[in-house]
Amino acid sequence: MVSGEVMEVILSRQLSQGFNVAKPSTSKADDSVGPELNNDSISGGKGHPTPTRKEREAANLRPLVSSDRRAGNAAARARAAEARDKARIGMANGDEKYLPVRDKGTQRRFIRDYIDARWSVGELIIPVMFVVIILTFINNVLLQNIAIFSLWGFFLIAVIDCVTVGFIIQRKLAAKVGADRVQKGNRWYAAMRALQLRPMRLPKPQVKRGAFPS
């Protein structure tokens, strides 16, 4: 009896001090669940989750351009540069395929050939301007005034030459294709070409000096 009372006193003290009674471990049950899940996943024969519809569609897509974007861009730039060079050479040679609208047509070709076959006063305007600029740096008022007035006189002569050649070309085209079929702006087109140095003209001259078109 005494020993039983002693045991009750000891147990009551342990409970009052907050000692918890050990519970049986459930690790065996947890371990038993793991193999079952693995067996289920393996039993499907895939070993990975089923892909979604978007994943399958993305896997089926194929790139429309080269995967090497840098090489593709370099090839595109090379093709564009080649096309530009071809167009530049074609325009310089007077190829109708590469000419802008203002230069296309048989009448514009006739004007170019006629202007390129003659000596125009206006094509010397740039060299004359350089000479006048150099003369203006000389510390001589009289020489400077002579240079400036000479430049204005040269401008006047160049304008008269452009007007004259414009009327000549207009008359020749009227006799060639008919007055009612002559394009507008031919005289202005001829004047602008006559004011340019021969090496700077585009399209480049296709005839020699004195070889006037018929």
- pLDDT value of residue 46: 54
Q: Tokens 């050649």 belong to which residue?
A: 165
How far CA 12 is from CA of 2, 3, 4, 23, 81, in Å, comes to 16, 14, 12, 19, 98
Give 44-73 pLDDT, tens digit per residue.
445 667 878 777 776 666 555 556 778 878
Tokens of 48: 């990975």
Average pLDDT (172-185) is: 92
**What letter represents residue 16's amino acid?**
S
Does the pTM of the predicted model rise above 0.85? Answer: no
- Of residues 187 and 45, which shows the higher confidence score? 187
Q: How far is CA 184 from the centre of its chain?
A: 34
Cβ-proximal residues to 125 (8 Å cutoff; 6+ apart), any chain: 154, 155, 158, 195
Cβ-proximal residues to 154 (8 Å cutoff; 6+ apart), any chain: 121, 124, 125, 128
Give 90-136 pLDDT, tens digit per residue.
888 888 888 999 999 999 999 999 999 999 999 999 999 999 999 88
